[in-house]
Structure 1
Amino acid sequence: MSITTKWVLRKNKSSHLSPSEYEKLKTQMMDDLKLGERTAEILINRGMTSIAETHRYLNPTLNDLHDPFLFDDMDKVVERIARTKVVNEKICLFGDYDADGTTGVSILFSFLKSNGFNVTYFIPNRLITGYGLHIDPLQDLIDAGVGLLITVDNGISANDQIDFCNQHNLDVIVTDHHECHGTLPAAFGIINPKVPGSNYPFKELCGAGVVFKLVQALSARLELAFDIQNAVECVALATVADLVPLQNENRSLVSAGLDYLNTKPKNPGIQALIEVSELTQLKAWHFGFVLGPKINAAGRLGEANHIVDLLTGTDSVKLMALAQFLSDENRKRQDLESAILEAALAQVETQSLNKDDIIIVVGENWHSGVIGIVASRIQEKYYNPVIVISVEDGVGKASCRSVEGFNIFAALQSCGEYFSNFGGHDQAAGFSIKAENINPMIEKIKEYGESVGIKKHLIKKIPYDATIEAGEITWELFNACSHFEPCGLGNPGVQFVINKPDIVSMGTMGKESNHLRLSMSNDIRGVGFGFGDFYHSQPDLVVNGFQGVEILCRLDVNEYRGNKTLQLLIKDIRLNPIWNSKMAMYLVKMIARSENPKAEVDLAADNINLEDLRLLRETVKRVYLLLKKAAGGGVPILSEKDPQLSPFHVLMACEIMREAGLIAYGLKDGLVFSKIIETREKKDIQNTKLMIKLEKMISD
């Protein structure tokens, strides 16, 4: 089942620039910052409103970081931690088992340990203890004489557990970045940019980023040694892996981390991980798709402590062995994920679950550590909200992934009575449920989806930055795109639409012919992974010389035997609706028969650009000459004689000429059969009712 997509021009609504202000700023960018016109336009569309702001975006540095003491509780938290050193009080860092939590623990542990604090850490086993603070391990820490607990990447909703700690004289400092719901816990101090009313100016730090700010404050106030490069390399990895937006401080931290790691890297654990991953020049996406998964694999399989060992260790031999172990564990995770994904997809296909608005699959004894990834893979394939449930001993554990616009957490709330517990946010959530409650829950959550109009959210919006001509695909434009690095969530790579790519050949590649390849007249090639079906589903493409094909893509480099060439990395491809014979017939019929065709046709869903429907008098004349030359014989809707004519324009021209009394015509098997009506009277094509209606539809 193919995904319905809609291409949307990326434009930041916050800029509020008038046309004159837009042009003035664009000129300033080009003159003062020596930028090309395209680059300046894209920067403004992405929200830049001044030269100073643009300069900071293009040249992110650690000097742009905010004062850590803008956090409301930072002063008293620093004082409390300082007291532990005076009396040698035990500190325990209580982290999360993912890449963000374990990296954050590593940053804070390294700093405190190297400065003589009595510090240890605890990371719960995902498969045994689960996420967040739990009473049993807290009791163990109390029994071990811990006097101060510092959470990392968790704790903001652990009200009961923190009350328990308070009752046993264990002070708790919460460092977290998750949303604050309801009453805040009664912790000694809270360092979280999302605390309501917080004065901290940037709200989107990851958990490791919040810990980094704490270390900044401690080192400055207590005049303690701080290996900032080591910490920045770690926080850069965590920032991308945890999918927080690469904006503001995050952009500065990731940019600096990449610079360090690509020039003179310092953290030996990350170096070892890079080496076993066979990476040379590191980019932001490597954190998210190569290094991050290896770190997360340890947590998913219940071995997160190894990450702290990796990021805080110094023995190169041991670190290489540990990095290799993590790589092997990730391979195990991938094998486990593949097996479960295959079973889940088989269930979707055999039970036609892809016809449901919310896809829900249920399996026996699926590994709970990977069902979230499986849910993401299914969501990517079908672009529906997805719930994957694994049932073991009569209890189901589930991971949910949603689509833009549909709040999966609100959907779970609608049937909360069926869950043992649940949590999450609008795009990702999870729950536990008794097996006997699964079927009634499924029915109720589907009803909720219908009640909020879920279908309107099942169109995947793909943003692009500009529409370009094929001739603009140059090394200069490719290099201009590098201004936007590091790219990731919140600061995506630059994407272009080419609506007249002048394709000279197209075909498929791969063992299953599921990937697309094409060549353009300017010798630029394109590849589209997973788009092989487009070629197979369009039998008329070759006949009409690939007319009407539109591409949404990124500029990429193909390197072969030392030679580098520009190529297009195709992110989506489609046929302009006016070149699809069935859609062309539908459009002409609606425009001819409906009083208000614009209201009848779903322009957005069908990706119809009204300007493409415009019909010129010269085009009508070209169609007339084709019909006249055919002398009553069939003229293909997809004209081989004039391949620039789309089926829509051929059919609309025929309708207008019929109204004007110039022809009589009929359709059969994709051919237009016509009879020319001889007349000496001059016909005014422009003033036919249909031409006027068409022009009004386009212009209004």
Structure 2
Amino acid sequence: MRWTIKPKPESEKVDALQKALQVEPIVANLLLQRGIESYDAAKTFFRPSLKDLHDPYLMKDMDLAVARIETALEEGEHIMVYGDYDVDGTTSVALMSSYLRTRTDLVATYIPDRYDEGYGVSFKGIDFADDNGISLIIALDCGIKAIDKVAYANEKGIDFIICDHHRPGAELPKAVAILDPKRDDCTYPYKELCGCGVGFKLVQALSTRQGQTTEDLTEYLDLVATAIGADIVPITGENRALAYLGLQVINTNPRPGFAAIISEVKKETLTITDVVFTIAPRINAAGRMKHGNYAVTLLTETDPELAKTYAAEIEFFNSDRKETDKRITIEALDQIETNNEQEGFTSVVYHESWHKGVIGIVASRLIESYYRPTLVFTKSGDRLAASARSISGFDVYNALEACSDHIEQFGGHKYAAGLTLKSENYEAFKQAFEDEVSKTIDRSLLMPEIKIDAQIDLCDVTPKFNRILKQFAPFGPGNMSPIFMSDNLTDTGYGKCVGEDKSHLRITVTNPEKTNKLVCIGFSLGDKLETITNKKPFQAVYSIDENHWNGTVSLQLKLRDIK
């Protein structure tokens, strides 16, 4: 692990913010690292509100999208809401279809089959629309590169509105409206919305035509918050407000589908991390193991008892998913080791029988063992399909773009992408990808980095400090949970390895003055036991956590690394 301490903000700025907010220097330091330099900015950060949301009509083509939908509603047209099969796509479809059904019954939903149709807009989906008299398709979380699909729909007299957040290509589809903050010609103030976030902006714009305010739309924010967490978009700016307020809905008045999932989790208040690791995998499991329609059905159900039935189905899919990705991960690791490919700059593996629904998860797991840009391929019809995952600081999308001569199609983000290619191009692509990464990657990125917000003393870790830190949530890209480092720590003598396989480390640390003692848990740090035995002094990098046990709450440190 590389330990990197973030630069300290200018002392004058720390002093000014400390006085303005009446906080400790360390709190002012953490805020400045997040770009918060004034009382007003801090107020917005700590108390997000609907007033922080931008005018949806600032988005390019919003007026065109609203006008086309209003025409469809007035003239009784059949509308299809189309979305991808992942969390962002299914929550988007649930949001948009739920809103439109408050105004018309002529709304159909469509999620492509991961295995039969693949990612994004499909010809089969357009044919379904044509066969069912649908004249307007609203595509969410996909469509920005569907040039030929939109042209095909236009030939059939079907209009498209695209709500996407992926990076556009050089040419845009001939749609009635394209809502995408990442368009070069879009001046929308916030560029990092997820697909569901773009869909919410469209609903926000439509609602203003009905005399509604954003307060009337809070029931949809649980969907938006879940998509923000699952799609790993920055939790800054407008996303922070949407995630913060959406979490309030999840914890106080969740839709029946979420309530059915949450009922299985014995926790009073869910954080964005809980949403990412509890709700999101179950929604995703439907599209991975069966069909994304199951997720949309769950998320749009209004009957609590039916929602419980649907949630039980999805729970079964999730259990199946866990077993499948565990097995494939073992096989993929074995392939890397058997082929002696550990020394390259990339990890690229393939087996025709691997389940397409879990290859993205497997790619992420491989990065935990071999910290490299990673692609996991499987057979998909007459093509090979892959999920790509990257390491911090390296843009895998750009690397794929440089290898596009070998690829049929691809799309995605800096850290996650999907692609398809012909089987005969696999070896040439694999070599081209390795060559491109080896040419462009900063070698230091190949060692995982821990970014440390500040060095503090153990006695700084107090309940009051923790209460302030909790108000920095929700955490995520752009606003990660603060990481601290402390020097000259010692174990009190009872450190030990815990867990079924003894892979985790549990110690109680104290500082030289013995003024403070804190329990620490270090997941997967069991091999560091020797570092702390016999009261040898050590450094630790950690985040501050809470341990809930038998109704009592105590502070503990979650160790990230020690040396």
The question of 1:115 aligning with 2:109 is answered: no
CA contact (8 A) 1:204 1:244 kept: yes
Name the amino acid aligned to 1:230: E
Select 1:243's aligned residue among 217, 221, 232: 232
Contact 1:262 1:281 in 2 (8 A): yes
Structure 1 position 404, deviation (Å): 2.5
Alignment of 1:523-602 (within 5 A): 523-536=517-530, 538=531, 541-542=532-533, 545-547=535-537, 549-574=538-563
Are positions 1:84 and 2:72 aligned together? yes
Q: For 1:345-356, what aligned pairs fall within 5 Å after superposition?
A: 345-356=333-344
- What's the CA shift for 1:437? 3.5
Q: Does structure 2 retain, via aligned residues, the 8 Å contact 1:58–1:483?
A: yes
Measure the CA separation in 1 of the matches of 2:429 and 2:179: 37
How many Å separate the matches in 1 of 2:552 and 2:65? 56
Cα 1:415–1:211 shift into 2, 3 Å: closer
Q: 1:105 to 1:440 in 2, by over 3 A?
A: closer
Distance 1:415 1:155, change over 3 A: closer
Look up the SS of the partner of 1:331 in the other structure. Answer: helix
Per the alignment, residue 27 of structure 1 pairs with 19
The residue aligned with 1:105 is 93
Q: 1:553 to 1:390 in 2, by over 3 A?
A: same
- Report the Cα offset of residue 554 of structure 1: 0.9
Q: Would the alpha carbon gap of residues 289 and 124 (structure 1) be closer, same or farther in structure 2, given more than 3 Å must change?
A: same
Rounded Cα–Cα distance in structure 2 between residues aligned with 1:316 and 1:437: 50
| Alignment equivalent of 2:179, drawn from 172, 175, 191 | 191
SS at match of 1:366: coil
| Distance (Å, rounded) in 2 between the aligned partners of 1:88 and 1:110 | 17
Letter in 1 for 2:505: L
CA distance in 2, matches of 1:102, 1:409: 23
Higher mean C-alpha displacement, 337-346 vs 226-235: 226-235
Q: Within 5 Å, which residues of 2 pair with 1:110-149? A: 110-116=98-104, 118-149=106-137
Map 1:330-341 onto structure 2 (within 5 A).
330-341=318-329
Using a 3 Å threshold, how does the CA distance of structure 1 residues 78 and 494 change in structure 2: closer, same or farther? same
Deviation by residue 1:274-314 (Cα, 9 ceiling, x = unmatched): 11334421111111111001001111124111222112212
Aligned partner letter, 1:26: Q
1:358-389 per-position Cα deviation (integer Å, ceiling 9, x unaligned):
12222230001101100101112322222222
Hey, what's the Cα distance between the residues in 1 that align with 2:383 and 2:96?
Answer: 37
1:411-422 alignment to 2 at 5 Å? 411-422=399-410
Partner SS state of residue 360, structure 1:
strand
Tell whether the 8 Å contact from 2:14 to 2:28 is kept in structure 1 after alignment: no
Q: Distance in 2 between matches of 1:394 and 1:122?
A: 24
User: In the TM superposition, what are the counterparts of 1:419-458 in structure 2 within 5 Å?
Assistant: 419-453=407-441, 455-458=443-446
How far 1:491 sits from its partner (Å)?
A: 1.3
C-alpha separation between the residues in 2 aligned to 1:320 and 1:107? 20
Partner SS state of residue 370, structure 1 = helix
Counterparts of 1:238-317 in structure 2, within 5 Å, are: 238-263=227-252, 265-317=253-305
Distance of 1:104 and 1:409 partners within structure 2? 23
- Taking structure 1 as reference, are residues 235 and 497 closer, same or farther at Cα in structure 2, changes over 3 Å only? same
Distance 2:209 2:168 in 1: 28
1:66-103: CA deviation from partner (whole Å, max 9, x where unpaired): 11111232223212211112221111111111111111
Distance in 1 of aligned mates of 2:259 and 2:484: 35
Corresponding residue for 1:633?
none
Q: Which has the higher contact order (CA 8 A, sep 6+)?
A: 2
CA contact (8 A) 1:375 1:400 kept: yes
Q: CA offset at residue 39 of structure 1?
A: 1.4
Report the alpha carbon displacement of residue 393 of structure 1 after superposing the two structures with TM. Answer: 7.5
Q: Identify unmatched segments of 5+ residues in structure 1.
A: 575-700
**What is the CA distance between 1:391 and its match in structure 2?**
4.1
SS at match of 1:566: strand
Residue number in structure 2 paired with 1:9: 5
- Whether the 8 Å contact between 1:115 and 1:224 is mirrored in structure 2 is no
1:469 partnered with 2:449: no
**Structure 2 CA distance for aligned equivalents of residues 281 and 340 of structure 1:** 34
Distance 2:70 2:533 in 1: 73
Q: Which amino acid in 1 is paired with 2:541?
A: L
In structure 2, how many angstroms separate the alpha carbons of the residues matched to 1:66 and 1:287? 25
The one-character-per-residue Cα deviations of 1:541-587 (angstroms, maximum 9, x if unpaired) are: 535x322x21111111222323322211011222xxxxxxxxxxxxx
- Mapped pair 1:45 → 2:33: yes
Q: Secondary structure at the match of 2:533?
A: coil
The answer to whether the 8 Å contact 1:503/1:518 transfers is: yes
Q: Is the 8 A contact 1:8 1:462 kept in 2?
A: yes
Alpha-carbon distance change, 460 to 158 in structure 1, aligned in 2, over 3 angstroms:
same
Count residues with an aligned counterpart.
Answer: 556
Question: In the aligned structure 2, how far is the partner of 1:200 from the partner of 1:421?
Answer: 28
- Report if the CA contact (8 A) 1:100-1:153 is conserved: yes
Letter in 2 for 1:203: K
* Separation of aligned partners in 2, 1:495 and 1:384: 24
CA contact (8 A) 1:398 1:430 kept: yes
1:475 shift after superposition: 1.2
Cα 1:336/1:500, change in 2 over 3 Å: same
Alignment gaps of 5+ in structure 2: 511-515
Q: Which amino acid aligns with 1:285?
A: T
Using structure 1 for the length normalisation, give the TM-score.
0.76
Pairing partner for 1:96 from 79, 84, 94: 84
Describe the shift of the 1:477–1:291 C-alpha distance in structure 2 as closer, same or farther (beyond 3 A).
same
Hey, what's the Cα distance between the residues in 1 that align with 2:476 and 2:123?
37
1:343 corresponds to which of 309, 331, 351: 331
Q: CA RMSD in A?
A: 2.1
> Structure 2 length as normaliser, TM-score?
0.93
1-structure distance, mates of 2:149, 2:269: 44
Point out the more displaced range, 61-70 or 495-504.
495-504
Query: Which residue of structure 2 aligns with residue 662 of structure 1?
Result: none
**Structure 1 residues 261, 422: closer, same or farther in 2, change over 3 A?**
closer
Matched residue type, 2:533 = V
Give the aligned partner of residue 635 of structure 1.
none
Residue by residue over 1:383-423, the C-alpha shift from the partner in whole angstroms, topping out at 9 and shown as x without a partner, is: 22222222478743222212133332333344444334334
SS of 1:198's equivalent in the other structure is coil
